[in-house]
Structure 1
């Protein structure tokens, strides 16, 4: 009965059935969280783990059927590793290699020409959870931890039921956000609330997420990925092709924005979004914030977009990859390694490597340009003058063009496809970036007083 209804619904919405199933599953998180807050909040931990696990498994079965067995296998193996191997770096490395190899094998055997919603989508979220869990258990036996590690470290091995509840928690199983087992334990213990017995409101995040979903539904059909590979796109004027790349990126990213913001609302409603009391005495509900929508919409900087987008995954990578490489003693090496890990974590396609390579190059140039503006009296005065609105508009166009230029390989996957698009715009993004990189030192010599000419070290 459910299948024909879903088929009709997907036809009426003009969306693939897997996408409709996914969105319904994210929305189901709201009644699940409400039932939990109103009737189960102070029940025994075993009851709560069972509740979270069963609902998460039901959503997994609804979306992926028997393929949910992949996540079950990885959770069981992770549990056995923690139990049998103890708090050792061997446990962490074994966890990392097993979970990543399993995920990459899944990508390899399920790969198609286009992006599909399949079991590997939530599994990549689960992979980070389980690898992070191994690090947190390892940290529980170490000394000299920083404040962040103290907050997430584990004093003992979780029970198998606890791991299932953590892994399948309906607010984050399908699309994230990332959260630690300690946060989940505090939720189950009833600690994550500003008013015991009263559910928080999640209407703002739900409303914002729904608005983003409407924007994506209305505009994305006009900017399909497939248009890049058509003769019609090739026949358009150069300026049109560049503008299309910019607008395509803007609307294409809304499919992620709407899912993350709506999912965050379910996490807030359950209590997982509670983040204590801020400096001004207000209760914070941003622990599961994966999108800063206002910053995403207004920042003219590539760095600003990164800070506003997929926040918890970026925080996970910073905590468990970048900072763990401190022993290397080189921030650039740590940065490159982290971006390479994120590229491979997304999949095996060359487009992911190209996308994150572009991100690294753009960030380096943007930081140098910011330092130049800051140190040059002429450029600083222009940035603070009445000309700034014009500068801001130009900067936004460059920002969104480079965003789309970098994102396009990520969505087209294969080198023959994204290379065709780059050729159609004459590799203008690469050329502009290389020229800017070469020219910036000369501009610095010309525009910055001699005493300030060496670029300041970026944090």
Structure 2
């Protein structure tokens, strides 16, 4: 039994989870070593070797010989780019199919009823990174007029060496749980473009403290409301209002598990000086360029759209940049949005819970837009001034939106966490399928109203002026 196994058994946590946590925290001493001994070294290969060796070592610490999966993926993309660069469509297609196919095969052979910490976890991060890298290489072959503003910022003129690609893919504080970033950011960092700015260590330590706080809240919260509780008859026998709020608070605690990991790794990226974004409103360096969560929006938001905008930010930006915007030729935002969510569901794996979760996101965001549109057009013009001056309305408005925010987050996250149909449908049944029922009622009322409004307008006689 290794040291990690011994400590995990004493603490009472899975050894895989302990290794994951230690790997995230390792980003801080790595950042300190780099800043003290390597950052000013003129030899760029030394920088690449340092990051590649650190990342591969941490990957091997977590997954042992299964590290070969990621090595194979990186080498394959390197070969495809150099051999097929002059044929970008073929290169992109083969690169995309290879990485998605390899990832899905990995899911197929390793999946269980739980969210497993296996080699497939960093491999899903690598899959997006290598697919995005392929797009960046192909974008440089297009004319300047064909590129969007975002594509101009990520397109690659000079191809990296295999060592550089390994360092980029295995960057110690980014390969395990993200965040996603393009190769151009890594190259800018190595070229020293961010070194002139100060405050990165302080920003990183603040992010570290927030990560520890969220991890503590997550652990306490899930001890009070563990996943297994929602599959028990005891939960199903609770009063309805308690059931839906218990589910909502459980979802918040479950989200904090992901958020704490992202905060820890973001802090390490900040500490090493990797995440420079520009200057903030006060003219000070902004080190949030790799932030994967917008904490203020997450905690103060009131809609599902706020969750989408504040959670897993870099992955959403990746999907927006490499999937959604490249489907512009379809001339339909709804189809492009559905395709982007479909890609995300497939990227997560085969479990039905992923597909249900992203389907629910699409439906709820659509309904939210319809409700907002109806409120803006029909309520505010008539009663807006009165409502703005009413303190009672302001309080009720806040309570209703925040309650909706908590309750529906529980509904949406259920399938994502419980994964298997027989598990998440049990929880849905325990809360009387309220998420489906309320949305069906709204969709029927909304479309029925517009249908009859159209019929009335169509049958109304047209008045001709003399």
Give the TM-score, by structure 1 length.
0.93
Give 2:255's aligned residue.
Answer: 253
Q: Residues 197 and 286 (structure 1 numbering): CA distance in 2 closer, same or farther, change over 3 Å?
A: closer
**Structure 2, unaligned runs of 5 or more:** 453-466
1:272-292 Cα deviation digits (max 9, x unpaired): 110123454222111101011
Q: Distance in 2 between matches of 1:200 and 1:299?
A: 27
Contact 2:200 2:271 in 1 (8 A): no
Q: Distance in 2 between matches of 1:321 and 1:107?
A: 22
Q: Distance in 2 between matches of 1:161 and 1:115?
A: 32
Q: Distance in 2 between matches of 1:198 and 1:429?
A: 43
Contact 1:38 1:197 in 2 (8 A): no
Give 2:56's aligned residue.
Answer: 57
Q: Which moved more, 1:378-387 or 1:294-303?
A: 378-387
Q: Distance in 2 between matches of 1:236 and 1:296?
A: 28
Q: Residues 415 and 380 (structure 1 numbering): CA distance in 2 closer, same or farther, change over 3 Å?
A: farther
1:254-279 Cα deviation digits (max 9, x unpaired): 00010001110111111211012345
For the pair shown, the structure with the greater C-alpha radius of gyration is: 2
Contact 2:77 2:130 in 1 (8 A): yes
Residue of 264, 267, 272 corresponding to 1:262? 264
Contact 1:351 1:410 in 2 (8 A): yes
Q: Distance in 1 between matches of 2:280 and 2:69?
A: 40
Give 1:385's aligned residue.
Answer: 390
Give 1:452's aligned residue.
Answer: none
Matches within 5 A, 1:237-386: 237-278=239-280, 280-375=282-377, 376-377=379-380, 378=382, 380-381=384-385, 382=387, 385-386=390-391
Q: Distance in 1 between matches of 2:405 and 2:203?
A: 35
Compute the displacement of 1:183 (Å): 0.3
Residue of 406, 413, 418 corresponding to 1:400? 406
Give the TM-score, by structure 2 length.
0.91
Q: Which moved more, 1:90-99 or 1:382-391?
A: 382-391
Q: Which moved more, 1:10-19 or 1:380-389?
A: 380-389
**Structure 1, unaligned runs of 5 or more:** 447-459
Give 1:32's aligned residue.
Answer: 30
Give 2:464's aligned residue.
Answer: none
Compute the displacement of 1:223 (Å): 1.9
Residue of 411, 424, 432 corresponding to 1:426? 432
Compute the displacement of 1:36 (Å): 1.2
Compute the displacement of 1:399 (Å): 1.6
Residue of 214, 217, 222 corresponding to 2:216? 214
Compute the displacement of 1:5 (Å): 3.2
Q: Which moved more, 1:35-44 or 1:342-351?
A: 35-44
1:359-389 Cα deviation digits (max 9, x unpaired): 0000011011112222222464436631222
Contact 1:275 1:286 in 2 (8 A): yes
Q: Provide the alpha-carbon RMSD of the alignment.
A: 2.2
